[in-house]
Structure 1
Amino acid sequence: MNVKIGDKVRFLNSVGGGIVRRFKGNDQVIVEDEDGFDIPVLIRECVVVGDNMMTRSSAGRPSAPAPQVQVTAPAPQPEKVEETAEGERLNVFLAYLPIDPKSMQQTRYEAYFVNESNYFLFYNYMSRQNNSWMSRSQGLIEPNTKIFMEEFGKEDLNELERICVQFIAFKKDKPYAMKNSVSVELRLDTVKFYKLHCFLDNDYFDEPAILAPIVRQDIPERQMLISAAAIQEAMQQKVREEKVTPTVVKKKAEAPIIEVDLHTEQLLDTTAGMDSTAILNYQLDKFHEVLKEYAGVKGQKIVFIHGKGEGVLRKAIENELKTKYKQYFYQDASFREYGFGATMVTIK
């Protein structure tokens, strides 16, 4: 099929079409849609539906036909796909290229979907808007190819901070290994779109591009998004690899530190019938019992695990140490092992 400047075309794998205005490289044309916007499209994604070689001048008179430039495009019919050994694993990327890299402050950008695999992909490319998602491009992409999705400007970058790609993979007319459907949400660093050095050389384009991996070697990308509240909560929790029975006071074989857990669920089978004062007194009795047992062992370190909670038990223990055990040294236990919920006492 021949595609010429001036032809009226429709898009094979997406809604829309227009008039071919010029060629871009060896495999793309610029199509002017009905609203007057220029859209770069792969030649093989265009289907000629009419001839519109006569254009009009500003005076309204027909002007001379545009120069005839012919490029042979693949016929829109099933064809044999050449597979590669590496292509049995999915490698899928998004690619972003500046249209005018010499003017990074004013340039617009192009977005592409890259399919480096032996599979056809039905895809949907979305961006986050408030609490909903908006589809920006969808369709079918052939194996081991890339497809143009959209052109956008800097005014659109805020909408692209959170994006999502979903797709299913399959082969036509042959057996294949089934792949799981993919849904990957990513956060783009849109500041990079203002910096030329962030667009890097790559295997898919002659021009530098920003690549955002979706799937690599069959493994979908997973970004860890941690809120400040979650980090604070994690810092406040004790981190321990194994739980020590609190009612059995003994030295660890590998270290001379004694651990005593004063949490009520470790000391008592049930707290039925006990008010908060009775529970606190029981915990303090256990505290005194342990200090009495090791009173003659100088240098012995004992960690009392009281938890953070409202700090009632912690304050009560500190008060006992200040008034009845002034000769002992005490400090917060290791934050890495216990968080903020333990006090270490050293027998003197």
Structure 2
Amino acid sequence: MKYKLGDFVRFVDEKMEGFITRIIDEDMIGVTGEDDFEIPVLAAKVTLVHGYKPAGSETTAAVAEPQLLQGEFKNKGVYLGVLTDAKANSVVHFNLINDTSFQLLATLATEKQTFKGEYAGIVAPGSATKIYSAQLADLQLWPKFLINILYYTTQNFAVPAPLSITEKFKAKDFAGSKKNLPVLNQPGWLIQLDEPDFVIDVQQLKESFFKPAEEKVTVEKPNREVDLHIEKLRDDYQFLSSAEIQKIQLAHFNKALDSAIVHQLHDVVFIHGAGNGILRHEIHKALSKHPKVQTFMDALKEKFGYGATRVVLK
């Protein structure tokens, strides 16, 4: 297969073009156009459009290792930076970021039933290179990553031990907010590969057994209107399944309801949206059994339609 996820292609027999968002098999690919509709097509029926480079595909040009002053030498800073493609949001690109003063000799292999080499090369100090691309919808099917990194420098500094990392990524690995990625200066998910091994401080562990009881937890007063739309609760919602989204929304609903009861609010509005009605049904079922709920009803139809519930507390 000569094509990769995120490549921009044009149909040979039709006046259409788009981005490759799925590799179906050796002969078939999925192409998504401006209408965000993915079309399966034979790889032989499209041609690569040169000149377009998706987000994450830029490789910082390798340069000669800079002659740094001793105080400037950076020993730490090897990362995986995960970027969504600017044109095909269903595709993410994994970038190996070298924010150290070493040259890195790096390889990436993936493992399902067998091993497959994905990348091998040299990453210069202060540079980054794309090493893998994947389809977000297939996150649960992503292979295991096997990353090996050797350090090299001509300067008089101790060389760290080689890194050997085996990782099977899951949705929870991208649960945090996006950060500005070093070197690339773009928002994405950052995973540090050269973190020091965790060492248990025996003295701290011993002291933890004799700590006084924690002070009473302060419960934050909720707003009168609580928005339960998942994009308001999590930055990584595109990685979550429907079941995970509903679980997060219900947990936030229960926390906000408890907080409203603690602060003795008269009423509170939960904005759950209309959607397929499942979240609304689960919320109403919980409210109907709650001992501190006096009544509940659809809230301000002219403002929310059937997408919000007003709860009156005892």
If the length of structure 1 is used for normalisation, what is the TM-score?
Answer: 0.36
User: Could you say which structure has the larger radius of gyration?
Assistant: 1
